[in-house]
Homo-oligomer: A and B are copies of this chain.
Amino acid sequence: MKVLVIGAAGMIGRKLCERLLKDGRIGSVAITDLVMADAVASDLGAGSGFARSITVDLALPGAPAKLLASKPGLIFHLAAVVSGEAEQNFDKGYAVNLDGTRNLFEAIRAAGDGYHPRIVYTSSIATFGAPYNGPIVDEFFHTPLSSYGTQKAICELLLADYTRRGFFDGVGIRLPNICVRPGKPNAAASGFFSNIIREPLAGREAVLPVSDDVGQTHASPRATTEFLLHGAQLDSAQLGARRTLMMPGVRASVADMIAALRRVAGDSIVTRIRRMPDPVVMAMVAGWPTMFETKRALALGFLAEPDFDSIIRAHIEDDLDGVFVR
């Protein structure tokens, strides 16, 4: 099977590619060709026989056709300008997140010759907007409160229509909060969820800008990779016309997360969290969706971690080689 990953240098893309490079197969099917594409250069796949990295900007004319040259039967489309940047730069957000995706879809349609790949597309809980009145059910509507969320919601609609019309076989994976994100603290307002776990485990202090009762639904990067692989393999006829699925996760408040950190790593680690309430962040958080029912995804076999302790352990195993700073 030929596989294309678009957005391979991002956090999720990198995790997915590392997994594909290690396994060399998806399920029982061997990967014969793996193209790892991103707008920025990466060192992924060096020295691997069946994989290669290419640098290409999806929003540029001709880029999608270039990516599809080998006619990959499976495409992971993870590339996106992130939320904050799409809000700051209106044109860039629409150019990459909407037009880039539509260009890709159009290039697949234009390929003809019976070409009909599976596309696994990552969407976001930013497609939802407050108020919620309880858990978000699979039939809850999309009222994004950001341009990023708008672009994701639009691409979910395009994914469904292009699939319905028979141009490809689309599966949308709507992700909950990804935690624990490896790497440095970033500027995202939601970054504190990962920061308060990752930084203390690395021996550094982390700032908690919200109160302990703030809740969210989380999945580890490891679970996210499994979501994508399951989305690549499932019998998509089961999806009917509703091609995007809200993924399950672990519902946990900040207090729950800290209690889990204490259980997994001990009291001394937890003292590295410094409470510095930030009214701006707290106001943003208040508008986020936090509870999801995800009946459809669970029925289709998508699996979340059983608890937040497991999310912390996955981070220690996958990103810290099993060792944290006591």
Interface, chain A (partner B; CB < 8 A): 90, 129, 138-145, 147, 150, 153-154, 157-158, 160-161, 164-165, 241-242
Oligomer: number of copies? 2
Partner of A161, one of B139, B147, B165, B241: B147
- Docked pose: A138 CA to B90 CA in angstroms: 28
- Chain B residues positioned under 8 Å from A144 (CB to CB): 157, 160-161
- Which residue of the partner chain, among B153, B165, B241, contacts A90 with CB atoms under 8 Å? B165
Q: List 12 A-B contacts (CB under 8 A).
A: A129-B241, A129-B242, A138-B141, A142-B142, A142-B157, A144-B160, A144-B161, A147-B161, A150-B157, A150-B158, A150-B160, A157-B157
* Cβ A141 vs Cβ B143 within 8 A: no
Residues of B within 8 A of A139 (CB): 140-141
Q: In the complex, what residues of B have CB within 8 A of residue A153's CB?
A: 157
Q: Are A147 and B165 in contact (CB under 8 A)?
A: yes
Distance in Å from the Cβ of A176 to the closest Cβ of chain B? 18
Report whether B143 and A241 are in contact in the complex, using a CB–CB cutoff of 8 Å: yes
What's the nearest-Cβ distance from chain B to residue A99, in Å?
10
- 8 closest A-B pairs by beta carbon, nearest first, are A150-B161, A141-B141, A154-B154, A150-B157, A139-B141, A143-B242, A153-B157, A154-B157
**Contact, CB under 8 Å: A142 / B145:** no
Residues of B within 8 A of A165 (CB): 90, 147
Given the complex of chains A and B, what is the CA–CA distance between A144 and B163 in angstroms?
12
Alpha-carbon distance between A145 and B163 when the two chains are bound, in angstroms: 11
Taking the closest CB of chain B, its distance from the CB of A230, in whole angstroms, is 22
Taking CB atoms, residues of chain B closer than 8 Å to A140 are: 139, 141
Instruction: Say how far A287's CB is from chain B's closest CB, in angstroms.
Output: 9
Distance (whole angstroms) from the CB of A145 to the closest CB of chain B = 6
- Contact (Cβ within 8 A) B147 A160: no
With A and B bound together, what is the CA distance between A242 and B241 in angstroms?
25
CA distance A242 to B139 in the complex (A): 17
Interface contact A143-B161, CB-CB below 8 Å: no
- What 20 additional pairs, Cβ within 8 angstroms, besides A129-B241, A144-B161, A154-B154? A90-B165, A129-B242, A138-B141, A139-B141, A140-B141, A141-B141, A141-B142, A143-B160, A143-B241, A144-B157, A144-B160, A145-B241, A147-B161, A147-B165, A150-B157, A150-B158, A150-B161, A154-B157, A154-B158, A157-B157
